[in-house]
Amino acid sequence: MKKSQETGWLGNMLSWGQRRQTQRSELLYSNAVEMARNPLFYSQFNVKDDVDGRFDALALCVSIVMRRLKGLGDEGSVLSQQLFDTMFADMDLTLREMGAGDIGVAKRVRMMSEAFAGRLNAYATSLDHDDRDALAAALERNLLRGTGAADAALLTFVIDLDRNVQALADDVILAGHLE
């Protein structure tokens, strides 16, 4: 079957902006994944190096990025939503690769997205209000999964991550970069 112009080159041309935005969200997600892979999470701060621990480190990093995007108007809001969509498309794919069935994947991804929303709210609120006690409680509950206290070093590490992302120039983060 021959492609029509609407689904061929013209369709590609008309959706170019959407694809460019998707590419930026994928780049931003990839950079957040790299941030979450920082060995300090697992060696110094005792985040479990397992699926749940890695999810929580990623949730923290993506929350920090989404917090920064929130202040960038409509373009930041769209990119933030696309970052969320990219993250959970990756979660879906990862669970399928781990052997979860279709019904189990949909349910688990929904639960993960709900858990992420709670983490995003807790982290953003505590960072917005410079509330170290609330941040420590959120980190203990989520990142450390109740297995330890969020010490001063972990709090400083997370606050520094946030400050670094907050300090990025608008055009840099909107282009999908975290450096």
119-142 pLDDT, tens per residue?
Answer: 999 999 999 999 999 999 999 999
Contact 38, 137 (CB under 8 A): no
For residue 14, being part of any structural domain is answered with: no
Averaged pLDDT, 78-86 = 95
Q: What is the pLDDT of residue 100?
A: 67
Averaged pLDDT, 2-24 = 47
**pLDDT of 166 higher than 70:** yes
For residue 3, being part of any structural domain is answered with: no
For residue 9, being part of any structural domain is answered with: no
CB burial of residue 35 (10 Å; 0-12, 13-18, 19+): buried
For residue 4, being part of any structural domain is answered with: no
Q: Would you state the structure tokens that stand for residue 63, as one six-digit string? A: 């929350």
Query: What is the amino acid identity at position 129?
Result: H
For residue 15, being part of any structural domain is answered with: no
Full-model pTM: 0.85
For residue 6, being part of any structural domain is answered with: no
**pLDDT of 92 higher than 50:** yes
* Helix spans in the chain (H): 9-14, 16-36, 39-43, 51-70, 73-97, 102-128, 132-138, 152-166, 170-174
Residue 95: band (very low, low, confident or very high) from pLDDT cuts 50, 70, 90:
confident
For residue 120, being part of any structural domain is answered with: yes
In whole angstroms, what is the distance from residue 120 CA to residue 126 CA?
10
Number of domains in the chain: 1
**pLDDT of 22 higher than 80:** no
